[in-house]
Amino acid sequence: MGKFSEIFNELVASFSRFPGVGRRSAERMVFSLLKMKPQEVKDMASKISEIHQDVKSCKLCNNFSTQEVCSICSNLHRNKEMICIVEEPKDIFAIEKTSQYNGLYYVLLGSLSPFDDVGGEDLNIGKLLNRLQEGDIKEVIMATDPDNDGELTAQFLIKKISKYKVKIYRISIGIPLGTQIEYIDSATLGKALMECKPIP
């Protein structure tokens, strides 16, 4: 049974490489392809093969974009004195959904990762430092992930950036809204206590 169709097995292997998709979910996805109308499946395949032509990197911030410069960098209503540094374009998606930020972004396209041999020279920060040098940017928010690699990356960048005339911030780390303190992992809870803010 396991080898009833070469393509079935290859597709299961392909889909398993999506983040968060295990072998069973991948199998379920291929079964669902088999139940779809052939035309729907063809449409999906052609969109997949076009996505790389359609979406490129913004030459200013590395965000995904269909244009040379992305819709955020080219938006006249954004605050051009503020830049938020994230690891991946999907972090921009998440932040934009909040509607709480109106500045620019810069995407590192990764983070420092000593275990995977990703060092400072591999981080994509040349364009960022050039822009800081130009002097238009007054504030930088470090929004790398609050995990080991993200914290390391934040520390590394803060060192690099502190020689420019900008104010540097770290996105607030603490207990998430809507949770109960008894269920928060103790690392987060400890951090939230250490970072507690005075009530004005």
| Residue 86, CA distances (Å) to 37, 45, 108 in order | 40, 31, 6
By CB under 8 A, tell whether 59 contacts its own copies: no
- Per-residue binding string, its own copies, 89-128, x by CB under 8 A, is xx-xx--xx-------------------------------
- Owner of token pair 């009530």: 199
CB of 154 to its own copies, least distance (A): 22
- Show contacts with its own copies in window 144-163 (CB under 8 A): none
By CB under 8 A, tell whether 47 contacts its own copies: yes
Torsions phi, psi of 18, nearest 5? -65, 145
Stretch that binds its own copies, among 13-21, 131-139, 140-148, 166-174 (CB under 8 A): 13-21
Structure tokens at 148: 């080991």
Structure tokens at 155: 């520390």
By CB under 8 A, tell whether 71 contacts its own copies: yes
By CB under 8 A, tell whether 79 contacts its own copies: no
Cβ nearer to its own copies, comparing 30 with 137: 30
Three-class SS of residue 180? coil
CB of 192 to its own copies, least distance (A): 25
- CA pair distance 9, 107, nearest whole angstrom: 35
Packing angle of the helix pair 126-134, 148-161 (nearest 10 deg): 40
Torsions phi, psi of 113, nearest 5? -150, 85
Identified binder of its own copies from the candidate list 82, 83, 87, 88, rule CB under 8 A = 88
Tell which residue, 142, 153, 67, has the closest CA to residue 110. 153
Three-class SS of residue 83? strand
User: How many residues touch its own copies (CB under 8 A)?
Assistant: 52
Cβ nearer to its own copies, comparing 18 with 167: 18
Identified binder of its own copies from the candidate list 60, 62, 65, 143, rule CB under 8 A = 65
Burial (CB count within 10 angstroms: exposed 0-12, middle 13-18, buried 19+), residue 169: middle
Cβ nearer to its own copies, comparing 36 with 193: 36
By CB under 8 A, tell whether 34 contacts its own copies: yes
By CB under 8 A, tell whether 5 contacts its own copies: yes
